[in-house]
Structure 1
């Protein structure tokens, strides 16, 4: 089963993402911030990482950058799911290694379609 690491400091947002992706057949693991996600990713490999930008301890862009430094995550798809929609933030995410950018609130069908597309 395809495993996804969903990272967001909002418990309700993690739940919505988990519900949407689990309903589409994905195995979803949640993390409450970038630091927790990095610790989890070091112990288990995921097929895709979905992260918010604004989080305590470690933001999503820093998480992407840190994961890209790990050999196991060099080519793993990483999507940013955030309320941020400015071109500067998107460019910062792309420079860090993000595969794509989705804005909140998200459409469940669009999220699933995007995840399926980046997973190939």
Structure 2
């Protein structure tokens, strides 16, 4: 959905302030899903070299994923929330802002950012 949203709105809104935050959110989410997909893949053949390579790369990927989620929690998620909330406040594009806030809330809930904020 985010890819379609980006494709549909990039020409009209590419110079808007909120669009920069949306583009960062979209790219960060793409990197996270790519890392998670790589982490969860199983080597197709049972060659020892591929299994060993996966065992070597898994801790690196886990560290990258944790660092990315921590960076989101500490810095980016609040910026994204503020930018998308301002879009909701703008009456012309309120529906776009509500959609982006809903996606942000779902993503933050899935990766555990919301639970960590509630504990604070």
Q: TM-score, with normalisation over the residues of structure 1?
A: 0.28
Which one has the bigger strand percentage? 1
Q: Return the index of the structure with the highest Cα Rg.
A: 2
Which one has the bigger helix percentage? 2
Q: TM-score, with normalisation over the residues of structure 2?
A: 0.28
